Structure 1
Amino acid sequence: MGKIREFFNGVVSEMRKVSWPKRKELTRYTVVVLSTVIVMAVFFALVDLGISTVFRWFLKA
């Protein structure tokens, strides 16, 4: 039991050293991540649509 307590005391000690982002930074990071995900999703949807169209065109010919 002593090792488990020592482990969690170490975890708590290290968590106090962490530099947590402020609310404004966290909001900015969240917006950046979500906008990047949306842009990438649209990009890959368009690429998929283009490739599908090309394959359908080749199969009809």
Structure 2
Amino acid sequence: MYLISDLIGRENTKKLMKEFGGSSIYIPREDRVSRNKRIIKEYNGYNSRALAKKYDLCHKTIQKIVKEG
């Protein structure tokens, strides 16, 4: 297991600590970002339930992804 400073460097770690120190932050996996891009591309305004089934997500999650995309 790596320390965050080993991955992003000491100065960037300090920036993260200054901005988010004491709180939890969520960093999505790259595959989730790619999946969301595919969902947005496939969305046609009427197929959120089909996309939810295809990607094993709930209908509201699809709507959220499209809205935030």
TM-score by length of 1: 0.34
Compare the two structures and name the one with the higher helix fraction: 1
Larger radius of gyration: 1
TM-score by length of 2: 0.31
Bigger relative contact order, structure 1 or 2 (CA pairs below 8 A, ≥6 apart): 2
